[in-house]
Structures are given as structure tokens and as C-alpha cells.
Amino acid sequence: MASSKLILRGAAAPSVKNAIRCGSTFTNLTSEQFMKKPTNEPILDYKKGSTERKALEKALEEYASKVIEVPLCIGKERITRKLEHEQTMPSDHKHAIAKYTWATENDIKNAIETGLEAREKWHMKTLEERADILLHAADLCAGKYRMALNATTMLGQGKNILQAEIDAACELIDFFRFNAYFALDLEKYQPISTKASKNSMLYRALEGFVAAIAPFNFTAIGGNLASAPALMGNVVLWKPSDTAVLSNYIIYQILEEAGIPPGVISFLPSDGPVFGNTVCDSKHLAAINFTGSVPTFKYIWKRVGNNLDKYISYPKLIGGNTVCDSKHLAAINFTGSVPTFKYIWKRVGNNLDKYISYPKLIGECGGKNFHFIHPSADMDSVAPATIRSAYEYSGQKCSACSRIYLPESQWQNFKDKFSAIHKQLKMGDVRDGSIFLSSVRDGSIFLSSVIDGKSFARIKKYIDAAKSGEDGAKIILGGKCDDSKGYFVEPTLIQVTNPESKILTEEIFGPVLTAYVYPDSKAEEIVRSIKDATPYGLTGAVFSGDKDFLYKARDILRDAVGNLYLNDKSTGSIVGQQPFGGARMSGTNDKAGGPHYALRWSSPQTIKETFEPVREWRYQSMD
């Protein structure tokens, strides 16, 4: 297979208006139009014979036929070394699409110093100048590089056409545009002034650097974790997931073409512990922006805590070790697992004495999301909504439904309707093969493989437990697993009789839905039990035709989830419409895609200029 270096072509970045003149978007919505009337990026249909379908098929063929060399990007340096690691297709794990190297501790420390140097000019630019770059990047994503983003997400992360389009194209474009819009709107607030003094608020960058730790399951999240802090004047060390290196690298290059200066964002594929320990041990750590596992986020938080005396200011932990050990750490932006986030948090905690400021930790860590079905629910809606929530992208969305509570009176009805849809689901290679079902060259594939062998083994363990009858579990639908070519897990429905079963309460992160059937008379009791059944608090949905019960359930679940859906599936949040994030062990609930997210990446300074200097020290009451 040929090896090729990907280079995005383009001259120096023009302004947003110039970008519109020298390029076009597939939907004809541009950033200039968006800023006049904010609206979400339209989703393309990709019908056979359409312009976008032909363009996507060409991009898929191109990226499947070569291996892209992905370098470390630090300032103007491009470092490849031996390119000892490969990103392979999850649906064909012998097929490599990218080669890359891991950053060493010295590389990461170099990126910190390079970023701090770049910060001197970057944070002094106006917000309008920085927003202009992000808006230009949005137009590049909407037009010139839309198919590259979609194709690399499909091949490298196993998404079908629609799931790639709503992620790598639409959501990424929305993040760039809405973040710019919200940030500019934030600046409109200024403190009250008087005749005697003028008061103003300066939305400064954090002092130090931000570490952005991205997940595999959403290309757009990787772009958002790195670009949102940069928009507010911060410099960022971006660690992509090993299983999403290629799509994330394309975003990095798009940001470069749009005008992000060298050093503002460093692109650093890395071993997780090496990256985490190094950033957490730097005194310049300002924030960690994390999406991933709960254990990892807890580790990061503890690491920051242990280093508090090192830091220049208190880092923001927004959800890794080399970054955790830097005194310049300002923040860590993380999306990933709970164990990883816990690890980062501990690391930061252990280093608190090192830091210049208190780092911010921002984390989004997944969950065990539910659908609760009331006896009055519309089952013609419940079945397809649950199919989509549980099985889209093979259940690998943070918000995917993985547990469902059904009344006895509707259980058989649900099984019949659910099974009828289940039989129609096509699973296979995102290009042209399949493991269980028919060819997907026609674009009708609904789901593909899970991301890698580790995920496959974890999911299979739960399915095997159900097959053995653990906790009274039994397989209702699906249950096949095959990793001979790709990591394929058939969409599976399991029934359990124990409400505390690990299959019902532990995060599986795959196409596995677990059902618990309850007596109709205990509907309210079951709703009350849901919120404390797991340590998570991300998303959930209640389906009920009884409005009184629906709103009672809403109130009962007030602390249970960050995103609650009434008579709708638990997935599908849209930037600007449903700001996303959960609390408890699901994360810090900072609501990406909402108007308050930008403030997390700023360290506001209040400035008072007086026109009436103090001349007297005595109080009037003293006379």
C-alpha cells in the first residue's frame, strides 16, 4: 500500500469575507451568513448520484488506498521519526490508513515552551481576530475539506455516511461557528460605570497552557476541545486518540490553513500516561479539557491535586501525566473514560504546589444512559427511537441508550416492534463488505464494527455473561461477535431480572441494550430508583403519554442527568440547541455547544479607572 503525506493546499488565511469569495460550501451556508442569523449546518442527504455522494465516494477511495504519515506538530516543526504506530480500520484491522509516532516527554515539554512563546502574541489579538480564523475554518470544513473529514472518520472510526456527516462535518462546523458567536456575545457584558469611575471587564486568556485530551468517538469533539480554548486566547497541547489520529490531524491542518499561528496548537499523538504526567507536572498548567473514561479523569484530577504547590495559578480541569507535571499547566480539556479522568484529577491534585495558578479540569466521561417507558407511552415511537439511540455508531456515543425500563403490559409489544426493526439493520464494512448482513456499497449500512480489539473484548465479556445466565440475564436478540477481520458485534438486546445486575448498571460502550421489565403499578418507584442505580449522570429519556407523569418524572430526575429528553431518544444533542454535558461521574457538566462554555476558557480581569482620586482617609462618621 502506498505511503503518502497529506498536505492541505492554500495560501495565507484571508478574512472570513475573502474566504467566502475564494471558496464555496456544499450547503451554501457560509460563516458570514451565519453571523447574521445563527443556524445549524444543514445535513446533506448523500443520495445516489448526488454531487456530495460522488465526492464522498472519491474521498473514500483515495484515503483507503494510501497510508498517511502523521507527524508531531510543534510550532513550525514536523517530527515523524520511525512512525512506529498505525491507525487501522476497525472494520478491517489489517488495513492501515495512517502511521504516526508518539511524542516523548521532551517533545511535550518543548511544545509547552513553544506554546508559551506563541501565547505572547496570540492572547493580545482581539477576540474578533481570533473568531475570524475559526469562522474561516468552519467554511473550509463546510466546503473544501468536508469529504476528507467524513471519509477519514468513516474509515478510521467506523462510522456510516450519516453518522460521519453529522459529526465530522455538521457538528464540527457548528462548534467553530457557535463558539465564535457565543464568545463575541460574551464580550457585550461590561460592568456598570458611574460618573466617578469607568469599569470594564477584560476576558483574558488563562495564564499558562491548556491540555486537550480527545476521544475516538466524535471527530468534532477533538476539534472543539482544542479550538475553543484557543479562541479565547489560550495555547493548547492537543492529544488525539490513537484511533482517531487521521481525522483529528486533518482538523489541525484546516485550522493551520485558516490562520492559527504556529505554536498556538501543538498536535501530539502520545502515550496517555506520558502525556498526562508531563502536563500535570508543569507549573504552567492552566486547564485540562478531557473527554474520556471516569478512571482517567479521576487520575488526572488527583495528579493535579498532588502538584498544587507547583502551579502559577489554579488549573481548570475540564473533562495524562507529562502535562500534569508542568508548572505552566492552565487547563486540561478532556473527553474520555471515567478512570482516565479520575487519574488526571489525582495527578493534578498531587502537583498543586507546583502550579502558577489553579488548573481548570473540564471533563466529559460517558454514562449509563436510560430510556424509561411508561405504560402510556407511544410504542410506535419508543421502538425506533431506542434502536437509534442504542445502536447508532454501534452504541459508542457517550449518550447512547444502554438500559431500558419497560412496563410488563408493553414488554411483548416492544419486543415485537423492536425485533421487526432489528431484522432490517445492516451491519458491515463502511466500504463494501459485511460480516453478518448484506453489502453496504448502496449506503444502507446502519452500523459497523466497534473501534478496536480492546473494546471488542470488553463488550464480548458482557454478552458472554448474559449467555451464561448471570443475574438471570438472557439474550433476546443478537449476541454474535466476530473479530476475524473487523471488530464486529451484532446489535444485542438482553433482558435481566435483577435491577442491580452489572449488565444493567455498568457502562459497556457498545451495541448492547439491557432491558428490565417492571410491574405497571411501580412506575414512579422505578423512576426514583433510576437516578441512583449507577454513578453516572449524562443523558436519559422518559416516554409517556400521561403528561402529569411525564413532568413528575422530569422533576424526580432533576439531579439524575445533564441532558433529559421527554418523548425523544437520549442521543442527538445539537450545538446551540441542546448544550451537552453531565454531572456525577459523567463529568463536570460544562455544556459544550452552549453560550457559557467560552467563559471556562477565560480568566476575566475587572478594571476600574477612577475620575475622582481619593483625597481623604477619614470616614465621615469619624467627624
Looking up cell 446533506 gives 44
Query: Could you give the angle at which helices 146-157 and 219-231 cross, rounded to 10 degrees?
Result: 130
Q: Which three cell numbers stand for residue 107?
A: 517533545
- Helix segments in 23-94, DSSP class H: 31-36, 51-64
Q: How far is CA 254 from CA 10, 32, 147, 209, 554, in A?
A: 10, 18, 13, 21, 42
Single-letter residue type at 477: L
Annotated active-site residue 398? The verdict is yes
Q: What is the DSSP letter of 597?
A: G
The DSSP bridge pattern shows strands 339-342 and 325-337 to be unpaired
- Contacts of residue 18, Cβ cutoff 8 Å, sequence gap at least 6: none
Q: Are the C-beta atoms of 326 and 370 separated by less than 8 Å? A: no
**582 Cα distance to chain centroid:** 12
Q: Which three cell numbers stand for residue 195?
A: 460618573
Given the residues 52, 171, 256, 364, select the one marked as catalytic: 364
Q: What is the DSSP letter of 406?
A: E
Given the residues 365, 398, 401, 481, select the one marked as catalytic: 398
Q: Alpha-carbon distance 280 to 285, whole Å?
A: 7
Q: Alpha-carbon distance 487 to 92, whole Å?
A: 8
Annotated active-site residue 117? The verdict is no
Q: Which three cell numbers stand for residue 285?
A: 498548567
Closest CA to 172 of 152, 142, 143: 142
Q: Which three cell numbers stand for residue 317?
A: 480541569
Terminal CA-CA length for the chain: 91
Looking up cell 502506498 gives 2
Helices (H) and strands (E) in the chain, counts: 19, 29
Q: What is the DSSP letter of 531?
A: T
**Angle at the Cα of 422 from the Cα atoms of 417 and 425, rounded to 5 degrees:** 140
Q: Alpha-carbon distance 485 to 94, whole Å?
A: 8
The backbone torsions φ and ψ at residue 425, rounded to the nearest 5 degrees and listed phi first, read -70, 125
Q: Are the C-beta atoms of 133 and 176 separated by less than 8 Å? A: no
**55 Cα distance to chain centroid:** 26
Residues catalogued as catalytic:
364, 398
